[in-house]
Amino acid sequence: MTVRAGIIAAVLLITPVATQSVAPALESIRQEDLRADLFFLASDAMRGRLTNTPENLIASEWVKARFERLGLQPAVPGYFQNYDLMTVTLGSPNELSITQAQAYDPATPASPAHGDGWNTQRFSATAEAKGPVVFAGYGIRATDLGHDDYRNAALVKGAIVLVLDHEPGERDETSPFDGVVTSDAGGALRKAQAAQGAGAVAILYVSDIHNHPGAAGTAGANFWPQQPSRLGTYSLADWMESIRIPAAQISTALAERLVTGSGRTLEALAKTADAPGGVTNVALPGVALRIRTAVNRQRVPDRNVLALMEGSDPRLRGEWIVISAHFDHDGANGPAVMNGADDDGSGTVGLVEIAEAYALAAQAGRRPRRSILFAAFNSEERGLLGAWAYTLRPTTPLVNIVAVLNMDMIGRNEEVPPPAAPAPAGAAGAPGAGRGGGGRFNGLEAQTAESNANALNIIGAVRSPDLGAAVRRANAAQGLDLRFRYDNNVSQLMRRSDHWPFIQHGVPGIWIFTGLHPDYHTVNDDPDRINYVKMEKIVRLTYQMSWDLAEADSRPRLLPRK
């Protein structure tokens, strides 16, 4: 694409005063331009744009060059927001010793070897701790929900806490912990932060066997595989360095040994963790632990690409609308390239097209009242890490961000194949599990691409009905079939793209998404399979919605969890 003076003139001529609510330069968003850009960004030469590869850097340079050529202001010097990821290898020594007053099976060692019933968590600190053991339920602190598993501060301080995996009500669609969507507070690293904040000196995790009967909860080879993943295993350096205590996963058998002195079984204790408001902490008498963990942490540089158009209204220009997409994907395995045309080359080229429309409007003397941040996030595939990094170091206070419109996979028709065999009732123990397509499509109804030819999924509006209303208004000219159906689903789609970190920080956000399909995360996600006619409508809708939000007198609300 280029900034075309002819388009500016044409757009202004066809936009009379009576229809000024139509976003200026809307017609500049064209399928031909989307296609041309995507055939470059998702070409074999880009090798799948995997985090920490030369091609990922090239993709970021390409986005920067487009922003720069459009005359957009850098939101940070040089357009690149730099941050660090972290990857780890297992260090030495990793040791666990148990001192126990009660007689116990002499065949069970008091100092089990690492990998034999316990494993160091990847985010653990290199540290040593010793002390009594306290059961702390799920180990969650969620003050906005009035839930605290660390209410007995005196008991927890200086102790090693034993906590359960997952969260209360994980299969309850009415759970205040985001329904059946795994809450952020229920993540293992968040639990380590909560334990540390409560004064615990170490944290041990065990399976919530009352919800997952028969689970061993042990630390298998997947914790520290002999052959590391081709994709790399990363976290944010800021997160990793926030953990200063030992953290380890233990087997249910080892946990049963630790709880013996309480006079209750692990399952009986686990059931108490579902108490409203949090567990009553339980000291586990007659047992003490000493644990040493060691990991080798290595920083890996990473970066987002951020451009800004400052708003025209002196009162509102300090408020921002964020339009986002992620430019990374899953790289290549030898000659097999995961081109990621839909995921998320489609959103990235859509972001560039919207940026051009704003640039054209500005050249014609029309700037939005609020400011617009164009955010190309990195490392979404590795855990939304670019978006999380932004929320840790935002370029404006997060309270100033009015809304996030995130485009991720906007180029295809949703397609969920039927299951290979009929799923048993209650498969996987979760509502909707096994409906169609197997694990990649868990909880989604089988459906054909043809049935979704004009469909667009909107995810996140359950937390902001105002954004739901805004997308419906913006869709009036496009006539897409909007579907609001995946906000509370075991597929976990609600938390699987870059709108999620912003919602966790109190910012209204939605994910604009055509849906999963069999080519998702395969070598078949190629630019020649994109529905460019439909994609043009979606990008125009997103631009119109962003313009409407930037012009509105009021800002959308984010509803509290309840």
User: What domains can be seen in the chain, in order of their start residue?
Assistant: 5-84+301-414+449-551 (3.40.630.10), 92-293 (3.50.30.30)
Q: What is the pLDDT of residue 103?
A: 64
**pLDDT tens track for 126-135:** 999 999 999 9
Q: How large is the angle between the packed helices 347-363 and 54-69, nearest 10 degrees?
A: 20
Q: Interior CA angle at 176 toward 162 and 428, to 5°?
A: 70
Q: What is the pLDDT of residue 187?
A: 97
Spatial distance between the Cα atoms of 323 and 348, rounded to a whole number of angstroms: 10
Q: What is the pLDDT of residue 445?
A: 95
Task: Give the contacts of 83 (CB within 8 A, at least 6 positions apart).
Answer: 236, 237, 238, 301, 302, 303, 304, 386, 389, 392, 393
Alpha helices in 121-214 (DSSP H): 153-156, 188-197
What does DSSP assign to residue 508? -
Q: For residue 442, what are its two tokens?
A: 């868990």
Q: What is the pLDDT of residue 242?
A: 98
Paired sense of beta strands 235-236 and 320-326, if any: unpaired
Q: What is the mean pLDDT of the chain?
A: 92
Q: Is residue 454 scored above 50 in pLDDT?
A: yes
For residues 320 and 402, the answer to whether their CB atoms sit within 8 Å is: yes
Q: Name which of 340, 329, 326, 322 is nearest 497 in CA terms.
A: 326
**pLDDT tens track for 508-535:** 999 999 999 999 999 999 999 999 999 9
Q: Name which of 561, 548, 56 is nearest 323 in CA terms.
A: 548
Q: What is the pLDDT of residue 330?
A: 98
**pLDDT tens track for 28-67:** 999 999 999 999 999 999 999 999 999 999 999 999 999 9
**pLDDT tens track for 157-182:** 999 999 999 999 999 999 999 999 99
pLDDT tier at 428, thresholds 50, 70, 90: very low
Q: What is the pLDDT of residue 105?
A: 66
Please spell the DSSP secondary structure of 391-412, one letter per residue. Answer: HHS-SS-GGGEEEEEEE-S-SS
Q: H-helix or E-strand containing 300?
A: strand 295-309
Q: What is the pLDDT of residue 417?
A: 95
What does DSSP assign to residue 242? H
What does DSSP assign to residue 346? I
Q: Is residue 151 scored above 60 in pLDDT?
A: yes
Q: What is the pLDDT of residue 220?
A: 54
Q: Which SS3 state, helix, strand or coil, does residue 283 take?
A: strand
Q: What is the pLDDT of residue 384?
A: 98
For residues 559 and 174, the answer to whether their CB atoms sit within 8 Å is: no
Paired sense of beta strands 202-206 and 160-164, if any: parallel
Please spell the DSSP secondary structure of 83-144, one letter per residue. Answer: EEEEEEEE-S--EEEEEESS---TTS-SSPPTTSSEEE-TT--SEEEEEEEEE-TT--EEGG
Task: Give the contacts of 224 (CB within 8 A, at least 6 positions apart).
Answer: 90, 115, 119, 120
Q: Which SS3 state, helix, strand or coil, does residue 80 take?
A: strand
Q: Is residue 142 scored above 90 in pLDDT?
A: yes
Spatial distance between the Cα atoms of 382 and 235, rounded to a whole number of angstroms: 8
Residue the block writes with tokens 């999963």: 516
What does DSSP assign to residue 75? S
**pLDDT tens track for 372-408:** 999 999 999 999 999 999 999 999 999 999 999 999 9
| Dihedral over alpha carbons 493, 350, 546, 506 (to 10 degrees) | 30
Q: Is residue 430 scored above 60 in pLDDT?
A: no
Spatial distance between the Cα atoms of 166 and 170, rounded to a whole number of angstroms: 7
Q: What is the pLDDT of residue 419?
A: 86
| Dihedral over alpha carbons 351, 461, 545, 319 (to 10 degrees) | -80
For residues 162 and 206, the answer to whether their CB atoms sit within 8 Å is: yes
For residues 262 and 135, the answer to whether their CB atoms sit within 8 Å is: yes
Q: For residue 180, what are its two tokens?
A: 């059946």
Please tell me the pTM assigned to this model.
Answer: 0.93
Spatial distance between the Cα atoms of 496 and 184, rounded to a whole number of angstroms: 12
Spatial distance between the Cα atoms of 431 and 179, rounded to a whole number of angstroms: 11
Q: For residue 419, what are its two tokens?
A: 């299951």
pLDDT tier at 422, thresholds 50, 70, 90: low
Paired sense of beta strands 320-326 and 371-377, if any: parallel
pLDDT tier at 109, thresholds 50, 70, 90: confident
Of 119 and 437, the structure prediction assigns the larger pLDDT to 119
- Taking phi first (over 0 means left), then psi (-120 to 50 degrees means alpha), and beta for anything else, what does residue 199 get? left
Task: Give the contacts of 243 (CB within 8 A, at least 6 positions apart).
Answer: 123, 124, 125, 189, 192, 193, 196
**pLDDT tens track for 261-277:** 999 999 999 999 999 99
Beta bridge partners of 297: 88
For residues 368 and 311, the answer to whether their CB atoms sit within 8 Å is: yes
Q: What is the pLDDT of residue 189?
A: 98
For residues 198 and 150, the answer to whether their CB atoms sit within 8 Å is: yes
**Residue 38: half-sphere exposure toward Cβ, Cα within 13 Å:** 33
Paired sense of beta strands 401-407 and 455-459, if any: unpaired
